[in-house]
Amino acid sequence: MTGFTAVVSGGTTITARGAVRAAAERVLGRLWIDQVPVRLASEDAELWPSAAAAAAGGRALCWPGQPGPARALLERIAELRARARAAGLTEVVLVGAGPAVRAAALVGGSSLTVLDGPEPGPPARLAADRDRLSRTLVVLAGPDPAGGALYLALHQMMADLGLSPTELAERFVAVAEPGCPTAGRAVEGGHALVEAPAATAFGALSPYALVPAGLAGADVAGLLDRATAVLPALTRPENNPGLVLGAILGGCARAGRTTVVLGGYPAVSLDLPPESSPGLAEWVAALLAEATGGLMLPLVQRGGLPVRPAGDVFLITLDGRPKQDDATVTGPLAEQLVMWEYAAAVAAYLLDADPLAPPRHERPAEGAADEADTGADTGVDSDAGTAAEQAGDGPPVFVEGDPGQGVEVHTADPALAAAKDLAALLAAVADRVAGNEHLAVAAFLDPDEARGQGAQVRRLAGLLAARCARPVTVTWGCRYPAFGNDRQEKGVYLVVTGNAVRDVPVPERRHGLDPVQRARAAGAARAARAAGRPVVRLHLHDRRAGLARLLESARGGA
């Protein structure tokens, strides 16, 4: 089968060809027999266990694509934005994690900065720029545990500006489910609180995304108007783009194609400037990984990250080539936000996953990752030896490089521990991945492309992808191992940590943000190892010098 089929609805077009088209056709009948489109539209609590439990407890959840309920936010967003502008607050810093936060960054534009983990680099830059800090409003979204340490640090930064108690209270807005820790912080600090349903994998049109985006200047009302226009297409039997896209995703995964490569071309949004579009693929990847519980491995194909054809891989391009690519998606951003959430829910249904379960970044983690953030007396400090103890991977197998610029290698895997230097280690990692594995690079570093380690880490991932010819994912500061956490039969994990150039103190704690970041890395390494996966943790005494050494070592066989 080489022909392609196109589904067109409004400004959105989905195409599929070949084996991907056939996989979708095999499951579309089941979706209609099970009345999935109607049940999704009516938010049928019997679709998933978490929905049934929430309904029994009278607890609201974030369901996919909800432009209707979001309209109730418009007046509140306008009020908060007017108050912020009157106080001269034109910058928004969003503290939170998960797909909804990525959607907020996608919609909110350049006036919105996301802090989605305790990496000290971005908040340290904010503290150093007092002019920007004086114009900043902080939004706390959801109950992500890292928010506690970040909130205390940011609160102290604002207090250091000499603000009055009233001014300080007005610098923070919380978006949270009633009763969660973030809501408690808002009440205690006298901050504005916008109540929200319980967070799930969805939420692109929830308060978690729309409140910070609106405060950053986004046209939320216009976004909701455009999102509403696609809703009728999602319940009809023909030309239903969300159902077809969900059938493509879920059908391919059921047929063994569990790695979906997103990208190949820059997405072009019809209602945002072109430079805003590339973040769409990153949001889709986070959404699919969360909604399917790791049963799908999404990979964003960026420059320098090659992916070779394989039996478990298929490609979806944003504004791609319908007659050449496995599948393509084209459409305005607002429509895609609704359609992709709907499709992720359909794929989760086909894979027997529960997309309404608590997001993984909000589930309690064992050991130091939580204790360091809550201020428990863990003995967490900033030296690498303590991090090694938390990770449970013992002393370094070897340290390569000059004093103060070396790279520590920690691994409990006997085959990888046999490597005598970084070049041999990375070659062994690439060999281990080659075949049917994937490499998950979990970087607990600063993701900024220019001022942090983003560019170097992505170059390292590209070099390793070229060597192993298998999918390589890059995640930043995850509480859990990189996407694919639940795919215990596959995955080699490369966890990268490094000494912070400048830490940010956390008031009321006897540590800064850096030990919280290290504790999270230790938790990620522990979790992957407990799942029986090979794990290598690389600790950089000097981040820039250490990554330069890793790049040099990785080029050996590229």
**SS3 track for 189-230:** HCCEEEECCECCCCCCCCHHHHHHHHHCCCCHHHHHHHHHCC
**Are residues 269 and 162 part of one domain?**
no
Q: What is the pLDDT of residues 517-558, one digit of tens each?
A: 999 899 888 888 888 889 999 999 999 999 999 999 999 744
Q: Is residue 455 part of a domain?
A: yes
Q: Show Cβ contacts of residue 227 under 8 Å, excluding neighbours closer than 6 positions.
A: 65, 67, 205, 334, 335, 337, 338
Residue type, position 11, single letter: G
**Are residues 132 and 45 part of one domain?**
no
**Are residues 286 and 214 part of one domain?**
no
DSSP tag of 481: P
pLDDT for the residue 359: 81
Q: What is the pLDDT of residues 419-474, one digit of tens each?
A: 999 999 999 999 999 878 889 999 999 999 999 999 999 999 999 999 998 889 89
Helices (H), 384-486: 384-391, 414-417, 422-433, 454-468
Q: State how far the Cα of 396 lies from the Cα of 411, in Å rounded to an integer.
A: 8
Least confident of 107-121, 391-405, 480-494, 507-521: 480-494
The parent domain of residue 104 ranges over: 67-224
Last residue in a domain, options 157, 191, 224: 224
Q: What is the DSSP string of 333-389?
A: HHHHHHHHHHHHHHHHHHTT--TTSPPGGGS--STHHHHHHHT-S----SSHHHHHH
Distances from the Cα of 128 to the Cα of 77, 125, 323, 502, 542, angstroms: 29, 5, 51, 11, 21
**Are residues 217 and 286 part of one domain?**
no
pLDDT for the residue 362: 54
Last residue in a domain, options 196, 224, 252: 224
Comparison of pLDDT for 263 and 331, the residue scoring more: 331
Q: Is residue 528 part of a domain?
A: yes
Q: Is residue 362 part of a domain?
A: no
User: Is the separation of the CB atoms in 498 and 482 below 8 Å?
Assistant: no
User: Is the separation of the CB atoms in 347 and 246 below 8 Å?
Assistant: yes
Sign for the CA dihedral angle at 500, 150, 114, 519 comes to positive
pLDDT for the residue 304: 64
Nearest to 119 by CA among 361, 455, 386, 446: 446
**Are residues 420 and 533 part of one domain?**
yes
Q: Is residue 463 part of a domain?
A: yes
Question: 329 pairs with which residues across the strands?
Answer: 14, 318
**Are residues 178 and 40 part of one domain?**
no
**Are residues 240 and 322 part of one domain?**
yes
Rounded to the nearest 5 degrees, what angle is found at the Cα of 94, between the Cα atoms of 91 and 96?
Answer: 175
**Are residues 216 and 233 part of one domain?**
no
- What b-and-e string marks burial along 413-435, b requiring 16 or more CB atoms within 10 Å of the CB? beebbebeebbebbbbbbbbbee
Q: Is residue 365 part of a domain?
A: no
User: Mean pLDDT in the chain?
Assistant: 87
Q: What is the pLDDT of residues 113-130, one digit of tens each?
A: 999 889 999 999 999 999
pLDDT for the residue 131: 97
Q: Is residue 425 part of a domain?
A: yes
Asked if pLDDT for residue 106 goes beyond 80, the answer is: yes
**Are residues 493 and 395 part of one domain?**
yes
Q: Is residue 414 part of a domain?
A: yes
Asked if pLDDT for residue 268 goes beyond 50, the answer is: no
**Are residues 13 and 84 part of one domain?**
no
3-class secondary-structure state, position 52? helix
- The CATH number that applies at residue 295 is 3.40.50.10490
**Are residues 199 and 84 part of one domain?**
yes
User: Is the separation of the CB atoms in 22 and 3 below 8 Å?
Assistant: no
Q: What is the pLDDT of residues 343-363, one digit of tens each?
A: 999 999 999 999 999 886 555
**Are residues 526 and 377 part of one domain?**
yes
Last residue in a domain, options 191, 224, 257: 224
Q: What is the pLDDT of residues 209-248, one digit of tens each?
A: 999 999 999 999 999 999 999 999 998 878 899 999 999 9
User: Is the separation of the CB atoms in 163 and 89 below 8 Å?
Assistant: no
Least confident of 57-61, 167-171, 375-379, 545-549: 375-379
DSSP tag of 512: B
Band of pLDDT at residue 100, cut at 50, 70 and 90: very high
Percent of the chain, pLDDT > 70?
87
pLDDT for the residue 387: 56
Tokens of 48: 């998933």
For the chain, the domain total comes to 3
Asked if pLDDT for residue 385 goes beyond 70, the answer is: no
Q: How many CA atoms lie within 13 A of 2 on its CB side?
A: 1
Q: What is the pLDDT of residues 484-509, one digit of tens each?
A: 444 545 789 999 999 998 999 999 88
Q: Is residue 361 part of a domain?
A: no
Band of pLDDT at residue 328, cut at 50, 70 and 90: very high
Question: 4 pairs with which residues across the strands?
Answer: 17
Would the pTM of this model clear 0.75, i.e. be above it?
yes
